Amino acid sequence: MVKTHPNNACFIHNYARYFGHFVLSHVKTRLYLKLSLYIFSNQGQKDYQINRIARSQCKNISTRNNTRAQSF
């Protein structure tokens, strides 16, 4: 058996933790950048408007159905 230095495991662990943190932060920043670009672009604004209109229509339909059901 090869005798490993006691600090080897710690070193590997710390390195993996640092590397994982770096990768995660990089991915997060990329996602945030893409998301902010999408939100501030025209397409994002249009989609937001469409979603808001659709949501309000869904609410209207559900309230109408409720009143119809109560009127019986």
Q: What is the mean pLDDT of residues 7-27?
A: 76
- Position with higher pLDDT, 48 vs 72: 48
Q: Who contacts 44 (Cβ-Cβ below 8 Å, separation ≥6)?
A: 38
pLDDT tens digits, residue range 38-48? Answer: 777 777 677 77
What is the pTM assigned to this prediction?
0.34
Whether 19 is covered by a domain: the verdict is yes
Whether 38 is covered by a domain: the verdict is yes
Boundaries of domain holding 52: 6-71
Whether 1 is covered by a domain: the verdict is no
Task: Please determine, for residue 15, whether its predicted confidence score (pLDDT) is greater than 70.
Answer: yes
Number of domains in the chain: 1
Angle at 15 between CA 2 and CA 19, to 5 degrees: 140
Whether 30 is covered by a domain: the verdict is yes
Whether 53 is covered by a domain: the verdict is yes
- pLDDT-derived band at 72 (thresholds 50, 70, 90) equals very low
Whether 18 is covered by a domain: the verdict is yes
* CA distances in angstroms from 61 to 54, 56, 57, 69, listed in the order given: 11, 9, 6, 12
Whether 41 is covered by a domain: the verdict is yes
State residue 70's pLDDT score: 53
